[in-house]
Chain A
Amino acid sequence: MSDDIFITEERIEGAEDGPLAGKTVAVKDNISTDGVRTTCGSRMLEDYVPPYDATVVSRLKDAGATIVGKANMDEFGMGTTTETSYFGETDNPAAPGHVPGGSSGGSAAAVAAGEADLALGSDTGGSVRCPAAFCGVVGIKPTYGLVSRYGLIAYGNSLEQIGPFGETVEDAAQLLDVIAGSDDRDATTRSEGDDANYADAATGDVDGLSIGVPTELLEGADEGVVETFWEALDELEERGATYHEVSLPSVEHAVEAYYVIAMSEASSNLARFDGVRYGHSGGYDGNWNETFARAREEGFGDEVKRRVLLGTYALSAGYHDKYYKKAQDARAWVKQDFDEALSEADVLASPTMPVPPFELGESLDDPLQLYLADANTVPVNLADLPAISVPAGETDGLPVGLQLVGPAFGEERLIRAASALA
């Protein structure tokens, strides 16, 4: 069972005492671990052993946690199913025969299967929330700047955050307490998380909570998913919350804006993989352009090549204004829309994923269709906001996640609300 959850199974013991003493944690394989192989799910980094720890890993160790392995993931975080991993697919413990979601599929599966109490993933466009929803566990995408990205192997710097998984909201919040807070090694971190106590916010108290439901995020969603979503909202209403519909017209353009920005950043970030300082070597025949191109042909899989090429295209002369600049406009628009909606509601709610988990192998052939499945998660990254995915129930035996979105650094509010459900 555990073979397909971890790329590398190795125990890293933390301090004897601390808030996470006795807890086991799975760490996504794009988060650097000193002396333990970190592959990003790619042949490019098949033999890469980081010489230092990511800040979140140092904080786990200091908190007394035991890391039990490096979890499988879509290659460089690029995917929604964990099937683009060079090391093979991961089965969904909550729905065997189905994908665990992605890109942090191994992390979510580790918690769902009981291989680890907690897990870390990273979320660039939904990569924590999607697998949390598909595996029936809790996942948090923190506000941009809450958690240090030092030692996270970058894919889309302006979008991504490391986030925690747990079986319950309180578990995930306890892990967030450990990893949140400023870090002088990541200049984008902020101090809001320095003294926070997220776990204590998991009271389940939703009395008087005002929930906005963006109608655009329900359109086109699977019927069973929508039904399960409304049942969960009814449960929150019974406990004292109220809900009203809101409109976010900009999110109609969020998927294309997200992919243009993420691919552009990826094409720049992944330029470092030339097989000279680390990674798969292209050998020494021919000049450096030839050997770099060979290293990257052999080291990268299809989805990574697709995104690097499309990002290069979107940034190339003559296309920059048409794609990248318009995508930045759309990003600003999405931010404005969310700010407005959150001025009239405490949190926004939607299904995390518009569909239940795909069957293994079902979705690999049509990249565009797979990108569209990210419709409900990517707007949150464009807006730099925090969000949580919490189990809402099941449709035909398949897990459905409820996503709550809050204002910047409003993690406590999300944790309080979501803990009413799990």
Chain B
Amino acid sequence: MSDDAVSPEEVRHVADLARVDLDDDEVDRFTEQFADILEYFETLDEVPEVDREADLTNVMRPDEERPSLEREAALENAPATEDGYFKGPNVS
């Protein structure tokens, strides 16, 4: 798939979009594997356009107040909390 082959830069770019750090070994390994896998995905080009008859209905419920998870329970798994809130890293 010469022209479309994945480059290490593309793997790094996608990893950046997905917020996953990769070390150099991982970049090399994924570059090679992605080329194989994406070449296989290319065969989707042979699929004809198909009418999709989705059998879907909206599922609605009354917008009523009801109990939800207690704040304490919701915070139980957080690595860090402050004053009843999740503590996140700096935004910038």
Contacts and interface: CB of A to CB of B under 8 A. Distances in A.
Interface of A: 47-49, 51-52, 184, 187-188, 250, 253, 256-257, 259-260, 267, 271, 274-279, 281-284, 286-294, 296-297, 300, 302, 305-306, 308-310, 312-314, 316, 322-323, 326-330, 332-333, 336, 367-368, 371
B77 A48 contact: yes
Interface of B: 10-11, 14-23, 26, 30, 33-34, 36-38, 40-41, 43-53, 59, 61, 69, 73-74, 76-80, 86-92
A289 B45 contact: no
Nearest to A274: B19
Nearest to A334: B50
B79 A276 contact: yes
A267 B18 contact: yes
30 contacts: A48-B77, A49-B77, A187-B59, A260-B41, A267-B18, A276-B87, A276-B89, A281-B79, A283-B89, A286-B89, A286-B90, A287-B91, A292-B89, A293-B16, A296-B19, A297-B20, A297-B21, A305-B26, A306-B30, A310-B37, A313-B34, A316-B17, A322-B44, A327-B44, A329-B47, A329-B48, A332-B52, A333-B50, A368-B36, A368-B40
Given A275-B79, A277-B78, A305 B20 contact: yes
A276 B86 contact: yes
Contacts of A312: 14, 17-18
Given A275-B79, A306-B30, A312-B14, A297 B50 contact: no
Contacts of B11: 309
Contact of A276 (B26, B37, B78): B78
Contacts of B86: 276-277
B89 A282 contact: yes
B82 to A, nearest CB: 12
B89 A51 contact: no
Given A253-B46, A323-B41, A367-B37, A309 B14 contact: yes
A105 B34 CA distance: 26
Given A289-B19, A309-B18, A336 B50 contact: yes
Contact of B20 (A260, A296, A371): A296
Contacts of A287: 89-92
Nearest to B88: A276
A252 B73 CA distance: 47
A326 B17 contact: no
A250 to B, nearest CB: 8
Contacts of A257: 44, 47
B6 to A, nearest CB: 8
A253 B77 contact: no
Contacts of B33: 306, 367-368
Q: Which of A188, A323, A332, A371 has the most CB of B within 10 A?
A: A332
A91 B48 CA distance: 43
Nearest to B79: A281
Nearest to B58: A187
Given A281-B79, A309-B11, A52 B69 contact: yes
Contacts of A316: 14, 17
A332 B54 CA distance: 9
B80 A281 contact: yes
A256 to B, nearest CB: 5
A291 B20 contact: no
A259 B41 contact: yes
The 8 A-B residue pairs with the shortest CB-CB distance, nearest first, are A278-B77, A297-B21, A281-B79, A51-B73, A326-B44, A187-B59, A291-B89, A332-B50
B39 to A, nearest CB: 9
Contacts of B36: 368
A259 B43 CA distance: 13
Given A310-B34, A328-B52, A293 B47 contact: no
Nearest to A253: B47
B38 to A, nearest CB: 8
Contacts of A310: 34, 37-38
Contacts of A323: 41, 44
A308 B41 contact: no
A59 B78 CA distance: 28
Contacts of A290: 89
Contacts of B34: 309-310, 313
Nearest to A48: B77
Nearest to A278: B77
A306 B14 CA distance: 11
A48 to B, nearest CB: 6
Contacts of A309: 11, 14-15, 18, 20, 30, 34
